Amino acid sequence: MSETPQTAEALLTIENLNVIYHAATRVHAVKDVSLTVRRGEILGLAGESGCGKSTLAYGINQLLKPPAVIENGAVTFHDASGSDIDVLALSGERLRSYRWDKTSMVFQGAMNSLNPVLSVQDQIEDVLTTHRPKMKRAERRDRIRHLVELVGVSADRMRAYPHELSGGMRQRVMIAMALALNPQLMIMDEPTTALDVVVQREILGEIQRLRDEFGFAVIFITHDLPMLLEISDRIAVMLAGEIVELATAEKIYADADHPYTRKLLKSFPSLTGARGDFIRTGESINSSTTTAGAI
């Protein structure tokens, strides 16, 4: 019997991770988070703005900048080669080779992450030149053509500049760039923000198709819990820096355990239910537990 994403072996293990922002006031942004990402799964990370989702993502990829500090905890990447990598112990060239190669990231606001004065081809080629210096120019160009076509962008757009592309196409280019080195894990931070619902659906379909084809795992971060119910194998719900619930998408939809998760589910209006059967704009989802948020 073949493994499903829910039963596959661990790819990334996070143990008791704590992130502190040492600003004017000390903010405990990520609190004792322990989480396992399995090979080939889409793990959704849901929660309201400021709950620490992006801080967690940056922390496990060593991208945090002062005043953020990882106070303690462990992040272990279980490489396909059979070796374990202590991510938080990496530095210099070892850290540089780990990023993109083992774990890639599509950042929040990714549509604005492209360099406006470089073509799509030049920006993806920069990744290949930096991380695959022995690759010949012709091989790089063939790889770029393959990547853009893989994410549904016509190869004749390779020489286009970001301003010449639609929002959905720019997002697809960012996904192509993240796939350039065949990573085993892709972290996607709000990848469909600012896209209309039709383009969102197309991007979500591409992510699922690419995952099925190449077998990489995805950490998909968003405040949109109904979206995660559609695409995720498991969902972790985050509140005030803590993981308050972790279960399969089916379990969370049918029988969520935590009251905050249930309130998140009710915060989106139903197409068929009675009017007003959701949390009003501006109403606190959990005023008793929500604290000063993390970035």
Evaluated on CA atoms 159, 161, 162, 165, the torsion sign reads: negative
Q: Which three-class secondary structure state does DSSP give residue 10?
A: strand
Report, at the CATH architecture level, how domain 8-102+184-295 is classified: 3-Layer(aba) Sandwich (3.40)
DSSP H or E segment with residue 274:
none
pTM of the model: 0.88
CA distance 123 to 280: 43
For residue 279, the model assigns a pLDDT of 41
Which amino acid is residue 147, in one-letter code?
Answer: L
- What integer pLDDT is reported at residue 266 of this predicted model? 85
Q: How confident is the model at residue 167, as a pLDDT?
A: 87
Asked whether 15 and 33 are in contact (CB, 8 A), the reply is: no
Distances from the Cα of 108 to the Cαs of 52, 113, 151, 220, 272, in angstroms? 13, 9, 19, 11, 32
CA distance 27 to 29: 6
For residues 68 and 29, the answer to whether their CB atoms sit within 8 Å is: yes
Q: Is 51 strand, coil or helix?
A: coil
| Residue-range domain boundaries for the chain | 8-102+184-295, 110-182
Q: Which of 159, 157, 155 is nearest to 146 (CA)?
A: 155
As averages over each run of 10 residues, the pLDDT of the chain (295 residues) reads 66 98 93 97 95 95 95 97 96 91 86 87 95 95 95 93 91 93 95 84 92 96 91 97 97 95 82 53 38 37
